Amino acid sequence: MLIHRDTDRIKVFNRRAIFLGGAQALLFSGLVGRMHYLQVIESDRYSMLAEENRINLRLIPPARGRILDRFGEPLAINVQNFRMLIVAEQVPNLEKLLNTLDEIIDLSKREVERIISEVQKRRSFVPVTVKDNLSWEEMAKVQVNALDLPGVVVDEGLTRFYPEKDTAAHILGYVSSVDEHELTGDPLLQLPGFRIGKAGMEKEHDYQLRGGAGTSQFEVNAMGRAIRELKRKESTPGSDLYLTLDQKLQKYASNRMGRESASCVVMNVHTGEVLAMVSTPSFDPNAFNRGLTQKEWKTLLEDPRAPMTNKAISGQYAPGSAFKMIVALAALEHGVIDTSEEIKCKGYTDLGARRFHCWEEKGHGKVSMVDAIASSCDIYFYEVAKRLGIARISEMARRFGLGELLNIGLSTERGGLVPSEEWKINRFGEQWQQGETFILGIGQGYILATPLQLAVMTSRLATSLSVMPKIIKTSEKTDNIVSGFSALNINQSDLKIIRDGMFNVVNGSKGTAKSSRINVNGHKMSGKTGTTQVKRITIEEREEGLPELDDIPWQERSHALFVAYAPHDNPKYAISVVVEHGGGGSAVAAPIARDIFKELLKDYSSQSNII
């Protein structure tokens, strides 16, 4: 009986041992299989993950491409930049350190708050920028006090710099930090301190100027701290951008215009190259790179002279008497008046119950077309406009580049306005009136033009070709190749009448700009003045006598305009000048153009290819 029981126990024990051994064998087989899967089948994947934990890839920002004038003179470059960083893990007491730095480089309260916030957000070994664009003196002070500044590092890099400051700011634009909505997925844009173009050529050609990022592979430890660099691929600098501008002329024109709210465009009439495009007052693009204060930004925005606006391409003005050449050409082409016909100006003319005045209160007497252009007789052009009608005037205006975008390459360009009967019906739901044709005949009313359009109009008058402006050079060479502009199909004898009138404006005894005539090595200019009212003159004001310019509030003064080309007998350059609320074209705008042409013609010869 006892033997039987012992036998049963042995059988049970053996069954349990076999079951347990089987389970252990099964688990061991699973473990071996899993190890085989991880070490053999998935070995490549886990090797890559391990390598990624060991290797850290960092982007190297590229040097931004330069912007240069037609002669290779720098307009926007990169300069050495010192910036101060803090590595928080090496700082025993952050508050004490910031107080010490404040005594050395003067940190604002806002900057201190930003630094503390960034230190709290980032890992302790990740550097935080304290200040960008340190001067040499500031950098030296930090280095001298290095022993008292644990965790402070001075880093060297490149920053954008505009040598001429505000001289060409509206064309160049500026760079600034990347905003949230500007992130495109390009990791380069996420680099701390990386800047992109925000306006002007910096914006329009940002991708070309930006270049390509380089890479640096660092070995890091388990905490992500860099130990040593393993591999490096240098960044690709951005491409240089050459403009048609002559930096020397641009600077001269800018200085000549001073603080006037004004604009000026100088063009080569054969190639369409813009040699100078100035809008004043301007701004310093370097300020945007370093970061504007709230006060600085508010000052720029609230200035009534609009320093942030490129008036040369965005300002839209009634062209005034500078438009009379277009009206005269349309009249000659359609035969509504003969060049020898004279119209009597007695200082006013009536249309129904309304009286239209000439700028010359006593009138000009009998005037022909050449005389009417030279003396800018309004009564002559009222009559010519009445005979022509709006459709013919508008058609000629568009042939000379008015009322359309000229695609200069800046997105802020505006197209002006050449009105028509259809336009007024669509815009106001009203029919065009004959009195509006009168006003259009002297370049006022609904018509609007930019200074760039006026310079193009003048270039076309000088050449009878459909000149188009350009501001980007296609090559680094400065020699001019005459562009293949098509003919405007204007009768050359008609055009000679207009040119004779423009010559007499400046050089004739009755010319409105005779005080601005020039003679530089025998070279003279032809031009046309313009004065456009921004406030209607009432009958009562005329009867009481118009006030002196100084007694009129600045915002109510007329705009002053002048367009011209030179040399008069072999045109090469065209210019337009608009001075907002300047008073009179002959008194304010013409002298500016005179001085710029004198500067431009000093070294000019008929064989010159310099500009």
Written as one string, the DSSP assignment of 401-459 is: TTTS----S-TT----B---HHHHHHHHS----HHHHHHHHTT-TT-BB-HHHHHHHHH
Q: What element of type H or E holds 296?
A: helix 294-302
E strand or H helix at 196: strand 195-199
CA dist 285 and 507 (Å) reads: 41
- Phi/psi of residue 181, each to 5°? -75, -10
φ, ψ of residue 472 to 5 degrees: the values are -105, 130
For residue 255, the 8-state DSSP code is H
Dihedral sign, Cα of residue 202, residue 203, residue 207, residue 212: positive
What single-letter amino acid sits at 201? M
Distance of CA 156 to the CA centre of its chain: 29
Q: How many CB atoms lie within 10 A of CB 273?
A: 23
Strands 573-579 and 152-161: unpaired
* Residue keyed to tokens 């003048």: 458
Instruction: State the Cα–Cα distance between residues 485 and 271, nearest whole angstrom.
Output: 9
- CA–CA separation, 35 vs 608, rounded Å? 83
Q: What whole-number distance in Å separates Cα of residue 560 and Cα of residue 562?
A: 7
* Structure-token pair, residue 369: 């077309």
Is 321 tagged catalytic? yes
- In sequence order, the β-bridge partners of residue 67 are 76, 241
The residues that bridge with 242 in the sheet, in sequence order, are 68
Residues in contact with 517: Cβ distance below 8 Å, sequence separation at least 6, in sequence order:
506, 507, 511, 524, 525, 594
Give the 3-state secondary structure of 513-548.
CHHHCCCECCECCEEEEEEECCCCCCHHHHHHCCCC
Helix axes 434-441, 378-388, angle to 10 degrees: 130
Identify the three-state secondary structure at position 107: coil
Q: Specify the DSSP class assigned to residue 364.
A: -
Q: 176, 263, 321, 368: which one is catalytic? A: 321
Please give the Cα distance from 175 to 205 (Å, whole number): 12
Please say whether the beta carbons of 459 and 573 come within 8 A.
Answer: no
Positions annotated as catalytic residues are 321
